[in-house]
Structure 1
């Protein structure tokens, strides 16, 4: 088993590349100070702070300092905090990084709090165990979600093409993208982003073939030929103008502000289902959620996963209060009503029932999508290895290189396999 001691030198090395990010010291003026950080939009920040204020009102003497950033900035900032021994008390954690920080002793095991400050038995074993590493609980499931394609059906209708839907095959999807290009009359609008550099969409493709990104030992579970085939598939769509060209694709920075759908370049986008509300809030036209394309007779590619988790810093001076705050955010009806489905559908059936009457059309579509997705759902994959984030960045970079015609799909597949293998071997 990997060491649970913090490799300070490794974290300092990672943090050394972070420029211009400062750390905010915790409040120390009396009472019990907590620090809580998360990634997300301004809307998420607003509702989260409202829920935290309720917790503070019910816990006199507890003061919660909050902070949030966009996805990429958040993880750079978090590395810096860890390297400086300033890990927050409560941390919004992603599934791909859970094992990394748990095994390096950054996160606190939570089993001792189950049934006490942490009353989440109603989540069910699957939604609790999804947050375990090596048998120990390191996170509180903030919501159930799955990958999704977010669709502007009106744009497809204007192009005279029936949009993709539940059960559309990969072959049919490529044909629909080509038909969109031929029928579209809008300037600089394409059927889809170029998802060739998206590790999440590639993972779905692999799972349908009975494969995976990583095996139980954290090594690549696919071949160079698999990824070359994937790059070739998207090269075919690119050749018929079925997806955005490379100079537009590079505008996407994994944020709502840079979403090619929201910016008006595409008729769809790829995200997680809990992000649907943010997409819909930014667009006047009605949007829908659909699964990724499928191989006829293939295995399910989607899976339910914790949209995010709440983890407690191992160095927290008030871990029981931090756990109590996490429990409040997922099991207190007033807090659940405030947070809605921004981070996914509540794992507790009782909390879902409390939430359902207040949801708008977009919220109900999110729940309906998850309910309808069952035939496309397979088992949760093994926890990704610690360097999975770097593999994802490399995957995106090589996708761009191919789109700019600096590499062929075969060359890109071979290069990705070599570089990803080297990253995982460190």
Structure 2
């Protein structure tokens, strides 16, 4: 999913988070008889989540008051709440931000509850490790997923060509784009959105080249030549009419409804395997998914099984044990698992997977099979990104992509500025 946060909003949010760390933890306002929960996502995720909170109230008698926002609204609000000591008890957390929030004490370590109200004895080891920072457990993975290319199969049928498979390459993408141009379907639908400022696409492209976004030490894992080549490749795709023009891509403001796939301007968008369910709920055409394109035939390793997201407990929560008990219910109660399906990813407990598999609809089965059968696309889980990764992605990478798209900067200028700007941001942390 493509998202955008303007630099002022993002910096306001991270400034608030820093202030929270400096000021220390303030008392939470939640009462012991209730819990507050916040998460990002669309209505489909909200319906499933609230279905589980209803089950929890019926089973435990505890109210769980939930709130959900679009991704680009979520993080500034959460940072502000954290700074004010009013963060919800249970926080949906992302892999890119978990290090920053943990180091600011904005989320609490959960180790003291493991073996008590939090039973992780049968939890997938790789997913458990993904929620640790400096050896302590700060997040419970809500599912494993992988980046994926979502595809409007009906659009490919109208264009008269076959949809790509996991074997496709960037050269194939050019050929697909030419076919869409020739067919001129749906008022000029393009093959793909502009992926030049998609951090997951850049990450995948770099990993196939034996590089990385970030090293284990929190430094950049690529150089200026890589960045220039990245922007130049997308400039070529843009000029050839393979991807949407900048003025269309600018209409994508974050919510699923504004993405190029839902608005009908592109037949493919980079996303995540768990998001197929949410997209299919608001798109009439049948959707499918494949891996990201390969840089050359036979080259793989760009994908990995990533914790789709976590639930963490706020450092300011007065109800940490109760929150941990809710987390345990969320990931292991059979009825809760049935309600959740795989919308947040493939469950991380074998028993939960066994419970959910027979209940899955077609889209959920597609997601499960995709993650389970990545083959040679699959590489190792990278280290957690540095604390500043969110700012680099939202305030630098995307801005530079837009500026190249609108012709304000050349790929050479943007490539140099990406490296210089990213190093400056990393140096401030």
- Tell me whether the two structures share a fold, i.e. TM-score over 0.5: yes
Note the alpha carbon deviations across 1:219-248, whole angstroms, 9 max, x for none.
Answer: 111001101101111111111111111100
What is the number of residues matched between the two proteins? Answer: 407
CA distance in 2, matches of 1:267, 1:169: 16
Q: Given the superposition, is the C-alpha separation of residues 76 and 10 from structure 1 closer, same or farther in structure 2, using an over 3 Å criterion?
A: closer
Aligned residues of 2:53 and 2:63 also touching (Cα < 8 A): no
Name the residue aligned to 2:398.
Answer: 396
CA offsets, 1:292-334, max 9 Å, x none? Answer: 0113343410011111101011222121110000010000001
CA distance in 2, matches of 1:124, 1:84: 35
Partners of 1:43 and 1:166 lie apart in 2 by 27
Distance 1:283 1:299, change over 3 A: closer
Deviation at residue 178 of structure 1 after TM alignment: 2.2
Equivalent-residue separation in structure 2 for 1:324 and 1:40 (angstroms) = 23
Indicate conservation of the 8 Å contact 1:120/1:331, yes or no: no
Task: Tell me which residue corresponds to 2:387.
Answer: 386
Aligned to 2:274: 274
Q: Distance in 1 between matches of 2:171 and 2:239?
A: 15
Output the CA distance in 2 between the equivalents of 1:220 and 1:245: 29
User: Which residue is 2:75 aligned to?
Assistant: 75
8 Å CA contact 2:342–2:364 kept in 1: the answer is: yes
Does structure 2 retain, via aligned residues, the 8 Å contact 1:33–1:64? yes
Distance 1:10 1:288 in 2: 36
1:36 and 1:284 mapped to 2: Cα distance? 31
Q: 1:112 offset after TM fit, Å?
A: 1.8
Residue pairs, 1:281-360, within 5 angstroms: 281-295=281-295, 296-360=297-361
Q: What is the Cα deviation at residue 54 of structure 1?
A: 1.4
| Structure 1 position 207 matched with structure 2 position 211 | no
2:57 maps to which residue? 56
Q: 1:26 touches 1:34 (CA, 8 Å); kept in 2?
A: no
State whether residues 147 and 273 of structure 1, in contact with CA within 8 Å, keep that contact through their aligned partners in structure 2. yes
Matched, 1:12 2:12: no
Q: 2:179 matched to which residue of 1?
A: 179
Moved over 6 A (4+): 13-16
The alpha carbon displacement at 1:65 in A equals 1.9
Against the structure 1 CA distance between its residues 400 and 14, is the aligned structure 2 distance closer, same or farther, given a 3 Å change threshold?
Answer: farther
1:130 match: 130
C-alpha contact 1:169 1:293 (8 A) present in aligned 2: yes
TM-fit CA distance, 1:414: 0.7
Q: 1:78 and 1:15 mapped to 2: Cα distance?
A: 13
Q: TM-score, normalised by structure 2?
A: 0.91
How far is 1:64 from its partner?
A: 2.0
**Counterpart-to-counterpart distance in 1, 2:199 and 2:38:** 26
**Structure 2: 5+ residue stretches without partners:** 1-12, 21-27
Equivalent-residue separation in structure 2 for 1:14 and 1:109 (angstroms): 19
> SS in structure 2 opposite 1:177?
helix
Distance 1:335 1:26, change over 3 A: farther
RMSD of the alignment, in Å?
1.8
Which position in structure 1 is the counterpart of 2:164? Answer: 164
Offset at residue 150 of structure 1 (A): 0.4
Q: Aligned in 2, Cα 1:186/1:11: closer, same or farther, shift over 3 Å? A: closer
State the alpha-carbon separation in 2 of the partners of residues 65 and 15 from structure 1: 26
Unmatched runs of 5 consecutive residues or more in structure 1: 1-8, 17-24
In the superposition, the TM-score normalised over structure 1's length comes to 0.92
What is the rounded CA distance, in whole Å, between the counterparts of 1:13 and 1:104 in structure 2? 8
Q: Secondary structure at the match of 1:260?
A: coil
Query: Contact conserved, 1:15 with 1:76, CA < 8 A, in 2?
Result: no
Q: How far apart, in 1, do the equivalents of 2:178 and 2:122 lie?
A: 47
Give distance in 1, aligned partners of 2:409 and 2:161: 32
Q: Is the CA contact (8 Å cut-off) linking 1:178 and 1:237 kept in structure 2?
A: no
Corresponding residue for residue 3 of structure 2: none
Aligned to 1:262: 262
